[in-house]
Amino acid sequence: MSQVNDVVIVGGGFTGLTAAYVLSKQGLKVRVIEADTEVGGLAGTFEFNDGVRLEKFYHHWFNNDIHVPELVKELGMEGDIVTLPSRTGMYFNGRMWKLSTPLDLMRFTALSFVDRIRLGLLVFQVRRVKDWKEIEHLSIREWLESLAGRRVYKVVWEPLIESKFSVYAEAVNAVWMWKKLVLRGSTRNDKGGEELAYFKGGFGRLADAMVSAVRQAGGEVTLGEKVLGITADGGHVSSVQTLEGNVEGKQFLFTTAFPIIADIFGDAAPQEWLKRLRRVRYLGNMCLVLRLKRSLSDTYWLNVNDPGFPFVGVIEHTNFDVPENYKGSHIAFLSRYLAVEDPVWSFSDDEYVDFALEHLKRMFPEMERSWVLEHRVWRSEYAQPVTERNYSNYVPGRETPFDNAVISTMAQIYPEDRGTNYAIREARDVAKHIAGKLA
């Protein structure tokens, strides 16, 4: 009879993989079960027809993130970290504005001189917030309008918040925005420009390196296997159920989105707890990856602040990582957040490409359809947890109604927003917790 696993981990994103890596290094028998055919979750990768590989959803990390580089170093791959300056901008009122440095901000004549000063001072006002719970009862709009005024909010922030949070734009609390501004303000170099980091060959290589390390330590990582339910006896989980059979374990870690966890636990868990999981709402993301003959602009990160455009940003990846790494082609990600009830969610890939390119051509009139060498459309139903007012009062914690099952997801890294850096941080913490229970 096969040995019972010490730890069974549901989900092969960066939280699940990092926890598996940490625990298997301690000599524990670990099994990771991932429903997708690729590991990495939202940092998963794909290949174009000629084998060029990159992320399904754009990725980088900030130069003040510590957990990603720590992990990379531990895996002996620190030579593969590239730190690069990033060029950011805004598309507003039919034109591009550079917004990478304080000087760019002073040239941003879409705002009056006084409003430009107010926008510039926002960084300092944001740093004055020491306890985020003080602003958790406010919406982003209520908080930013009180700091920078209505006009600054209307031009700079409102289009981004509405694109990002769709039907929940007025519900998201100010802490989300506060954390973003604090983080971005601290990634500037001495000239006021922003520097970002990337992993050579993409985050998929990093995920693969962890899978190899887990397997070398005697652990298992299975792909394309969906967890359908649990077998529990009172307050104790004995196994998770898959189409391939039951997987037994002593401890269980669930790292998928809350609605998926609620479906897995189903009738085996108290209704009150399941209701708390389902209380947290999510937005989906549609990401169109374009492989182009020519570059669209010299900007890496272009926020789209014109209402009526179907994406929140145009991220031209090859203005960050060089085109030579993609056989000379140019890569652009068009990112759109939306509720899955939105009619656009059910567009076929071809319909969505036609829809998006029509709008992209409005931004870049010289662009021709013939520039597009290849494209892919990726969807993630639970891409963005919606942190509504007083989120900390209702978001479920790590513990479950079962003594040997815990959860660690992107909805729980609050007050931070989801990101690979925090997935790694949380995974190390939850791995320590699980190892303690097994000891």
Mean pLDDT (the chain, rounded): 92
Band (62; pLDDT cuts 50, 70, 90): confident
Residues 402 and 274 in one domain: yes
Band (205; pLDDT cuts 50, 70, 90): very high
Residue 125: inside a domain: yes
Residues 207 and 258 in one domain: yes
For residues 87 and 335, the model is more confident at 335
The structural domain count of the chain equals 3
Residues 110 and 169 in one domain: yes
Asked whether the beta carbons of 21 and 216 are under 8 A apart, the reply is no
pLDDT, residue 340, reads 94
Asked whether the beta carbons of 414 and 132 are under 8 A apart, the reply is no
User: What domain range is 322 assigned to?
Assistant: 282-386
Answer whether residue 192 shows pLDDT above 60: no
> Among residues 205, 240, 218, 207, which one has the least CA distance to residue 23?
218
Q: DSSP string covering 165-220, please? A: HGGGTTTBBHHHHHHHHHHHHTSB-TTS-EEEEEETT-HHHHHHHHHHHHHHTT-E
Answer whether residue 38 shows pLDDT above 90: yes
Residue 84: inside a domain: no
Q: Choose one of 366, 386, 406: the last residue of a domain.
A: 386
Band (190; pLDDT cuts 50, 70, 90): low
Q: Whose structure tokens read 């991932």?
A: 34
Residues 420 and 431 in one domain: yes
**How much is the average pLDDT of 32-53?**
94
Band (194; pLDDT cuts 50, 70, 90): confident
CATH of the domain at 338: 3.90.660.20
Residues 319 and 414 in one domain: no
**How much is the average pLDDT of 233-243?**
95
Q: Choose one of 369, 386, 403: the last residue of a domain.
A: 386
